[in-house]
Chain A
Amino acid sequence: MPVQECLQVIENVRIKEDVFRLVLSGQRHFFLKCGQFVNVKVPGKALRRPISVTSYTDHTVTLTYRIAGEGTKLLTECTGELDVINECGNGFSFDLFEKDILLIGGGIGTAPLVACAEEAVKRGLKVHAVFGFRDRSQTLFEEEMKKLGADLHYVYDEDGENTVTKVRDLGWQDMNFLCCGPTVMMRAADELMTGEGEFSLETRMGCGFGGCMGCSLKLKSGMARICKEGPVFRKGEILWENLL
């Protein structure tokens, strides 16, 4: 359930050339789920920036964001308090997984999958993951995923590799999975995978809590707001041509 609140910036640091880690804390007990997002007010910008949750505790939430434009650039300078709408969106469901979970991620889309890996470990699941990046300098979450004991494979565009092809080469296409990354990658995953899974989508949003229908997408089952009924949707539901 979305909550508008002011959170304290504990950390807002560069972790890669154009990627930052933002840690926020509050007094209230958070009720976050992995796959949800935080809609952050950036001073000087009219609209909030929806950013996926990389990790959370009862009172802190960690976001990982890439500088994609002016808003996220301004966000890198933020200290003190930030006005956010917390606990936005539906989040991933874990009812698909019994023993193993496969996480398929690309670029900054790997961020919400780290929270999934944490949740999976809590649930006693063995984590398998394929994360793709443009080049080695972009690699994210190596330590976090190592700590969680994940069976993680990195692939890089610079090596002519492809995340989804790697999943196939590993023989993991029949596993149940969670996926987040560039739309073309997710579409390829949707085509390849025979297991059940969920995808996390993104788009420009007006409000982030369902008020404006600015992010509504036509699914096979009808219209859905990415911010409210999503951002996570089941495999087989998404009409990818509506996102490209």
Chain B
Amino acid sequence: MGKLTVELSGMTLKNPVIPASGTYGYGMDYLDFYDVNILGSFSIKGTTLHPREGNGLPRICEYDQGMLNSVGLQNPGVHDVAEKIFPELKKVYHGQVIANISGFSFDEYVECAKIMDREDIVGILELNISCPNVHGGGASFGTDIPTAVEVLKRVKQAVRKPVYVKCTPQCPDLVGMCRALEENGADGLVLSNTFLGIRLDRRTGKPIMKNITGGVSGPGIFPQALYKVYQVYPHVHIPIIGCGGISTADDIIEMMSAGAAAVEIGTLNLTDPQRIPQIITELEQLCDTLHVESITEITGRAHR
């Protein structure tokens, strides 16, 4: 066991670095840059029961410290992912993935989860109740505690793999939400998805993106995302995967100090695709500098 090894609900990760859903496709597009087997794991593109075309163009805009996206859960549907994409992925990736699943009804979440649950390549199910770019699903499930609990309970009853819930920072009572999710069987939390935002065209004054709003990500949201983890950690006993604006090994240490057992990295994959292998190396060096034998010692030290 290396010093970067972490465990998430029985799934052993060689390091705590997990590319975040929506920035990593199904892993294949990163093979041009490095061997994806160096990762702790990665979270696949948000998958729904049926194929989705997503939102119209433009789907992307930026701000000085990051970007906004409104992809809108474009994906080929869970059947194609299981039958066509996973067999290809298994040829090049020997670990397990985190399967990010989304839906627009309780049944859709459950059906999608059941199919993912049968796949050996899936280690953890990541229940996405936080997509800001779809209407009538996504984040609308993630801001209301009774609805979120209901989705979780139904999925938990239908599957055997661990279920982590990816929360939205838009939730007005995130601590209450996370406690309720733990009480109702969540095996872990992912804190958090993107913040809702908008950019306007300077010339016309109109929204740049076709969907009008989008999810804000990148280094600019790091302090806010960090605070979500810091805020929730003392109130729960299940692992938290910290996510939001991480772009350096130092950021990972900080996120873990706030309470994260592992981290998801998103926007950085898009802006600097070769950076993650360097970060993993730097993380090992940072452990030496901090005199820790295992990076797990870092988790939650802000609260001790």
Show the binding face of A for B, using Cβ within 8 Å: 1-4, 41, 44-48, 83, 85, 203-207, 209-218, 223, 228, 242-243
Contacts and interface: CB of A to CB of B under 8 A. Distances in A.
Contacts, number: 99
Nearest to B57: A203
A213 B45 contact: yes
Interface stretch (B20-28, B163-171, B288-296): B20-28
B60 A2 contact: no
Given A204-B57, A212-B22, 11 more contacts: A204-B59, A206-B60, A206-B69, A207-B23, A207-B270, A210-B25, A211-B24, A212-B270, A213-B25, A223-B53, A223-B54
A210 B29 contact: yes
Given A46-B271, A207-B270, A213 B71 contact: yes
Q: Is the interface of B mostly helix, strand, loop or mixed?
A: loop
B74 interface: yes
6 contacts: A211-B24, A212-B71, A213-B71, A214-B69, A218-B53, A223-B54
Contact of B54 (A1, A3, A44, A216): A216
Contact of A46 (B23, B30, B33, B64): B64
Given A47-B67, A242-B57, A216 B74 contact: yes
A212 B69 contact: yes
Contacts of B269: 207, 211
A45 B272 CA distance: 12
Best-buried of A44, A205, A215, A216 by chain B (most CB within 10 Å): A216
Interface of B: 22-25, 29-30, 32-33, 45, 53-54, 56-67, 69, 71, 74, 208, 218, 267, 269-274
Contact of B271 (A2, A48, A210, A215): A48
B74 to A, nearest CB: 5
A205 B121 CA distance: 30
B262 to A, nearest CB: 20
A46 B62 contact: yes
A207 B63 CA distance: 15
Contacts of B30: 211
Contacts of B74: 213, 216, 223
Nearest to B267: A46
A243 B210 CA distance: 11
A211 B273 contact: yes
Contacts of A206: 59-60, 67, 69, 270
Nearest to A1: B32
Contacts of A47: 60, 62, 67, 270-271
Contacts of B58: 203-204
Nearest to A217: B57
A3 B34 CA distance: 10
Nearest to A243: B57
Given A1-B32, A4-B273, A207-B273, A214 B53 contact: no
Contacts of A203: 57-58
A211 B45 CA distance: 9
Nearest to A218: B53
A220 to B, nearest CB: 13
Contacts of A223: 53-54, 74
